[in-house]
Amino acid sequence: MVSFLHLLGRGSKKEQTFGAIPLQFTRRLTKIKPSYAEMVGRYLCESRIKCAVDELVDVSVGMGFHTSYNTKNEEYARAKIVVDDFCENVGMDNINSEMARDIWICGNGIFWEKTPKKLDDLTRVPIASITKLRVDPNGKVLELEQKFGDNYPEIVKGSDVKNLKHIAFNRVDNGLFGRGLLEPYVRRGYGYQYKEGDQWKTAYRPSLGEINEEVEDMMRVAIIRYAPKYVFEMGGFSSDDAEALNTKLNTMSWADDLTVWYKGDASKQKFTANRLSTDPRSRLDPFIDHFVDKELIATQTPAVKLISEEGFTEASSRTAMQIEIRKVAAFQRFFKRIEEREIFVPVIMSELGWTREKATDANVRLNWGPLDKPQVSPEFLISALQFGGITIKEFRKNIAGMGVELLEGEEENLEDQEEVKDKDANTYTE
């Protein structure tokens, strides 16, 4: 049996080959591979990628938020007021959108508290500028390398990184960095082996980003190739006539027509136009669809398909959006807990001088969505049904949303009963 110390990675080196080992920690800066700059660049250049990421950002944080607190102690209301004022002053809605976009794209977000003792301002560190990182086993940034454009990289360490906060979403294995949606999109293949003669060699497919860009560029070339092109054969012309004709051909628009006339003995002159074209029977659609689908799978949202595909039915659209909602819900839980712990609690501590325990006990929470969203209770629904404010079908739909399991296919029977009831109510007998 593996001891508890072994699971913590405190056993001998031999024993550390199994069980849980400490997270990746080095004394040197670790180069970001694949780079955040490439991920952001792909987001900016690829319309499908940008559409998918923007959709996830809007659905996850775009609706805004409101805060709540522990109402068992009226003193805690001060904590909520302090947090609300802070969010208003720094524009937390905008910061949330920017940070969420970094995290969805790269899996990581880094922000800087400008003042060590008072959280009166936040600055988001541009994720694409970070080329190397060094963090401790808890994910705290110890040192980083930044590079802007063609400038030389700069090392930031010591007191300059003391107040940096690192958000890592979707850590994998024992890694300290998060993994974003665009990681598989910009990574080359894992590799496969093939035999050449007596030797085994390893080949790697390019990244999906490179493949899709190359395919799209070839599609562009193919479209141009489908436009009529000609190779002209000329014979029997003098050098001056041939040169003049060649100049005319090279300066014409592809849509212009050309008339050629001959001087002298026409039997010795030749002018033939041979049309060049691509065989339209070449069907590459399945290959193109394959790489586009892999791109959409990488972004883990059906939003792009819903916009671009005409074959989506209402039922399949609802199913697709339910898949996205589950993904977004996990992100929202992660994001709100980070914000409550790393921002709300320190704001309360610095503004009110409370201990971390007291600030945490105030339980100031981030709640997604506007505050004025009505809270529908079962009692309200029953009352509305009794007074005719809603139909039985609407009643069933609402309580199903509250988690009540209902039998499918009963709505039609209930509607038939309502029609009979209405008919009887409208019947007048002398």
Q: What is the pLDDT of residues 206-224, one digit of tens each?
A: 998 898 888 888 878 777 7
What does the pLDDT read at residue 19? 43
Q: From CA 195, how far away is CA 201, in angstroms rounded?
A: 6
In this predicted model, what pLDDT tens digit does every residue of 285-333 receive, in sequence order? 776 777 677 766 777 676 666 666 655 555 666 666 677 777 888 899 9
Average pLDDT, the chain: 78
Instruction: In whole angstroms, give the CA distance from residue 370 to residue 67.
Output: 10
Residues above pLDDT 70, as percent of the chain: 71
Q: How confident is the model at residue 83 (pLDDT cuts 50, 70, 90)?
A: very high
Query: What secondary structure does DSSP assign to 104-136, as a single string?
Result: HHHSEEEEEESSSS----EEEPPGGGEEEEEE-
Please say whether the beta carbons of 7 and 18 come within 8 A.
no
Average pLDDT for 84-92: 90
- Other CB atoms within a 10 A radius of the CB of residue 29 amount to 17
Look at strands 30-31 and 141-146 and give their pairing.
unpaired
Q: Over range 75-92, report the average pLDDT.
A: 92
pTM of the model: 0.68
Residue 426 has a pLDDT of 46
Q: Name the H helices within 252-313.
A: 285-299, 303-308
Select the more confidently predicted residue: 310 or 345: 345
**pLDDT exceeds cutoff 70 at 192:** yes
Residue 120: Cβ within 10 Å count: 14
Question: Does residue 402 sit in helix, strand or coil?
Answer: coil
Coil/strand/helix, residue 270: strand
Query: In this structure, what token pair is assigned to residue 61?
Result: 């944080």
Q: Phi and psi (nearest 5°) for 407?
A: -75, 135
User: Cβ–Cβ contacts within 10 Å for residue 69, how many?
Assistant: 20
Residue among 257, 260, 286, 289 at smallest CA distance from 272? 260
CB burial class (10 A; 0-12, 13-18, 19+) of residue 36?
buried
Which has more confidence, 193 or 235? Answer: 193
